[in-house]
Chains A and B, each alone.
Chain A
Amino acid sequence: MSNRYAYFIGCTTPFRESNYDLSTRRIMEKLDIELVEMEKAGCCGLYYELVNELSYLCMAARVISMAEDEKLDLMVICNGCNSSLYRANKKLRENPELKEEVNNVLADIDREFKGTTEVKHFVKVLWDEVGVDKIKEKVTNLLDLRVAVHYGCHLLRPSEEIKFDNPKDPVSLDELVEATGASSIDYPEKSLCCGGYVLASNQDIAYKMTGRKLINVKKAKADIMVTACPFCNVMYDANQRGVEKELGEKINIPVLHYPQLLGLSMGYTPREVGLEQNRVRVNPKIFE
């Protein structure tokens, strides 16, 4: 396994969820994984998959080429970036004509896509490469919590391409949560989407979807919910008050980025993992 990655944070994390960036850096430091900055990296191109395919592939190839220049694999912390970059990488490697077309565009900005780097979601890095056992060795503060895990869609699907974990019954993030001492609880419709993708086109539908999962999580008596994607987190945490209004019901479930949970179990203080920035307030005492 590699202990150095080109570290890509995308758009949503620096815009709204810098605590996710902060806590990811903390846990990787504790695991002796070096994250190499990607200055001026910009956007992975995800949404353009729905707008203009050549624009999308060029934007994704540009980001991948930055990691290639450093001779490093690329680590992402967003499910959207995972889908966009992983799939573009695969498509361009398998399609020499398309690769040439993309490289003709990239030549204008003095870049070239070669196809020499791997794109990895941090959950894959932790579960597949670091391993749960090594993570447990770094856990000094065993947590006693009931956690509702939310994988999000693009960590696992389309499984024919992404090929990670068991897409129908995944265990990776549950096992990573349980490495902290917490219990990952079962709850209905665990694979339901957060609704983030339709937030801009139809907020009503998006909030209904978000709300449905939050109600399921609440009924299952979870103490907190845990995500591995900044946009899923925005839907459940930052938009929770709006969703409550839509539902006419109080939910009040704290939602943590996974690296925040792991960081707390590794002995970092709530402030060191940016917990005060989570929108739904959480009593830090539950992590003691």
Chain B
Amino acid sequence: MDLRKELAEDVDGKTLNYCFSCGMCTGGCPSAMMTESEYNPRRILHRAVIEGKLEDDIWLCTNCYLCQERCPTKTKVADLISLMRRVYVKHKSIPDFIKPLVVNLGACGFTQHIGELENKRRKRMNLPEIKHTSEIRKILKKTGGLYE
């Protein structure tokens, strides 16, 4: 996999070239704050540009977009890290923690299994019953998103 090439094919990915590693992204990043900058979006971008490498830490992005809002060069930092995650899934594997969500979506059309227990509670509250849909499974199958 040529990470730089993969990123450059995406309109958000192209903005990686704007980054001059100032670190504003990391200064505002909540995951960086919680890990004493062990999680570090500046390093993730730098690594992608210089080494063309992807590592597991990209899954620690909270998708809060503070990095992207703060970036003085309008690098789409958060969109880039989302894009890197899609590249990761495409070339490596789907992380284990996402698998239950995929299974639930395929089975009922929701990210969590909404069943009898939830509907009983809703009935007591006079709320409409939640019904499953098989359309999401069809979409995922057709778009290669089932990962079975």
A interface residues with partner B (beta carbon < 8 Å):
11-12, 14-16, 18-19, 21-22, 25, 37, 39-43, 47-55, 58-59, 62, 105-106, 108-109, 111, 153-154, 157-159, 167-168, 191-193, 195-198, 200-202, 205, 208-209, 212, 274
Contact = CB atoms under 8 A, between A and B. Distances in A.
Given A15-B114, A51-B89, A58-B143, A195 B109 contact: no
Contacts of B82: 49-50
A200 B98 contact: yes
Interface in B98-148: 98, 101-102, 105, 108-114, 118, 121-122, 125, 127-128, 130-133, 135-136, 138-140, 142-145
Nearest to B122: A18
Contacts of B90: 52
A62 B139 contact: yes
Interface of B: 30-31, 33-35, 39, 59-66, 68-69, 78-79, 82, 85-86, 89-90, 94-95, 97-98, 101-102, 105, 108-114, 118, 121-122, 125, 127-128, 130-133, 135-136, 138-140, 142-145
B61 to A, nearest CB: 7
B144 A205 contact: no
B139 A22 contact: no
B105 A52 contact: no
Contact of A153 (B39, B64, B127, B128): B64
Contacts of B79: 158
B30 to A, nearest CB: 5
B35 A55 contact: no
B78 to A, nearest CB: 7
A58 B136 CA distance: 9
B133 A200 contact: no
